[in-house]
Amino acid sequence: MGGDTYAYNASAQALGTQNQRLLHSTAKRGNPFSVHDDVHARAGLVCLDCHRPQGHKIPRGNKGTDLVANDLPGVKVECEMCHTSAPHVRNRRTRAALNGHADYIACETCHIARLLPFNNVLKDWVHPIWNEEEGMYVPKAVYSSGDPNRGLTYLWFNGNGTFLANALGANPNRNPDYNPLMRQIVMIQDPVVLGEIAANTRDIRTRYGLDSAAYMARIANALSQLSPDMLSRRREMIERNLRVRMNEGKSRIYPFKLFNAMMFEDLNNEGPFGAMILPFDYRTYFETGDAENAVKVAVANPIVKRMYETPFKLYMMDEFMAYFGVGKWTARYPLDAGNWNVQPRWMRQMGTLMVNHGIQPVGRQCAECHNRNGILDFAALGYTADRVRALQNLPELSYFQPPLRPSHRQEGVEIEAEATDASER
C-alpha cells in the first residue's frame, strides 16, 4: 500500500535474481500499513487481527468502491469492532461533542492526515516516457500528491459504490445538489495543481506534439470529453439509477484517494460514464513505447477478438456495457477495415479508492475543517449556505483549544500536532 518507493517496503528491496521485477515510482494508495506510519501496526497488530478469516476465506469488509474480490462480502471490518461507536472517552469535557462527530465523520477522516507524497493521482498511458533506470518505456506519472483536496478527497459514503470505483452516499439532508459525479470528482480547479500538471507534462506535450490547451482542458474537466447529449444522459442516469443508491442507509464523510488515467478506448462503445477501455500488449509497450501499436497487438489476441463475437455479446457484453449507459455492445472488431474508432481519453470521472491504513494516533484539529479555508468543502458536501456559514464559524472552537504535543512523523513530513481529545480514542 505504500508502493515500491516507500522506504520501508521490504519487498521492494528484494527484486529477485534472474528476472528482476519492475519498480514503480508512484503508489496506488499511498497509505502504508507499517510500524513507521500506522498506529495499529506499531501496536503489533497484523492483517488477520482485523480481517478475521473464516477458514480460508478473508473478509475485506462490507464497504468498498473497487472490484477487488471479497471472500465474505457480508462480514464487517470496521474501527468500531474494537473502538465502539463512541470511541472518545478520556476527556469528560469534550467527549460528548467528539462522539457526536463520529456519527457523521468516519475515523479515517481525522486520523489519516495525508497520503504519501508519491501517491499517484493522474497517469497517462498513451504517451509513455523512457525510464533509463529500468531500461524500458513506462506510462507518464502526470501528477502525484498525498495532500487533502489534491490527492485525497472527502465524500459522503454509505458503503455503496459504482463499478468504476466511485463512492456513493448522501448528506443526511438529502440535498440533490450533492452530486460528486458531476462536480468534485470530474474537475480539477486548484490553480496550484494545474500549474504542477502543466510543468510535469511539458516533456510529453513537446515530444508528442500535443495541443497543450486541449490536453490541459481534458484534465481540468473530464466531462469536456462528452457531447451535450452524453452529458444530458449522464445527468438522467445519475438521478434515475444512482440517486436511490446514494440515499440508501446512513452515510458518513470518508477520505478517498483520487485517481484518473488516460488510456485507449473503443469509442464505438461509448456511454455517459466512459467507453470500453482496451488493453495493451505489455511487451510491445515496454520495449517500443508505441502505445497505439501495443493496443493493436493486444486486440489481435484471440481472447480479445472473441469479445467482439456474437456469443460474448449476448452472454456478457450487452449487460456489461449497460453499466456505462450503453444500450448494447457494438461488436465491430476494431482491426477489421473501417472499424478503427479507438482514441485516447481520460476516464470521465476520477476513481475514489478507500483508504483505511496509515492511521495516525493524533487526529485533526477542529479548525482544520471548521474555517473558511478548511479541508472540508461544506458546500460541495451538500450543506445549505446558512449551514456552511455556521460550520465555518463555530463559537465552540475556543472550548477545544489544546496544548501542543510533540510533532509526529508521516514519511518525511513533520507535522506539528496538537493534542486534542479528537485524537484520544
Do the domain assignments include residue 122? yes
pLDDT of 322 higher than 90: no
Residue 202 sits in the same domain as residue 280: yes
The confidence band for 403, taking pLDDT boundaries of 50, 70 and 90, is: very low
What are 415's strand-pairing partners? Answer: 408
Same domain, 347 and 389: no
User: Is residue 18 included in any domain, yes or no?
Assistant: no
Average pLDDT over residues 7-15: 81
* Confidence class for position 25, pLDDT limits 50, 70, 90: confident
Residues 262 and 383 in one domain: no
Same domain? For 240 and 123 the reply is yes
pLDDT value at 414 more than 50 = no
pLDDT band at 93; cut points 50, 70, 90 = confident
Answer yes or no: is pLDDT of 404 > 60: no
* pLDDT value, residue 338: 94
Mean pLDDT for 221-230 is 97
Whats the size of the chain, residue-wise? 425
- Relative orientation angle of helices 191-200 and 212-220, to the nearest 10 degrees: 140
Averaged pLDDT, 57-68 = 86
Rounded mean pLDDT, 327-344: 95
Q: What is the pLDDT of residue 38?
A: 94
Mean pLDDT for the stretch of residues 305-318:
93
Residue type, 301: N
The more confident residue out of 330 and 22 is 330
Identify whether residues 187 and 297 lie together within a single domain.
Answer: yes
pLDDT at residue number 399: 72
Confidence class of residue 411 from pLDDT cuts 50, 70 and 90?
very low
- Which residues make Cβ contacts (< 8 Å) with residue 281, sequence separation at least 6? 294, 295, 297, 298, 301
Q: Is residue 214 part of a domain?
A: yes
Task: Give me the number of domains the chain comprises.
Answer: 2
Candidates 250, 260, 257, 6; CA nearest to 108 is 257
Whether residue 235 is found in the same domain as residue 377: no
Decide if pLDDT at 309 tops 70: yes
C-alpha cell of residue 23: 519498480
- Whether residues 348 and 390 share a domain: the answer is no
pLDDT of residue 418: 37
Q: What domain range is 372 assigned to?
A: 365-397
Q: Are residues 129 and 225 in the same domain?
A: yes
pLDDT of residue 401: 64
What CA–CA distance (Å, rounded) separates 201 from 140?
8
**pLDDT, position 222:** 98
User: Is 411 within a domain?
Assistant: no
Is 31 a domain residue? no
Answer yes or no: do 108 and 232 share one domain. yes
Give mean pLDDT, residues 183-212. 97
Mean pLDDT of 161-167: 92
Is 3 inside a domain boundary? no
Residue 402: predicted pLDDT: 57
Residue 334 within any structural domain of the chain = no
**Cβ atoms < 10 Å from Cβ of 112:** 26
Summarize the confidence of residues 399-420 as an average pLDDT.
44
Say whether pLDDT at 407 is over 60. Answer: no
Least confident of 242-251, 262-271, 357-366: 357-366
266 plus 122 within the same structural domain: yes
Q: Are residues 348 and 370 in the same domain?
A: no
If asked whether residues 346 and 392 sit together in one domain, one would say no
Cβ pair 151, 157 in contact under 8 A: no
- The pLDDT score that the predictor gives to residue 395 is 85
208 inside domain:
yes
Cell of 168: 456513493
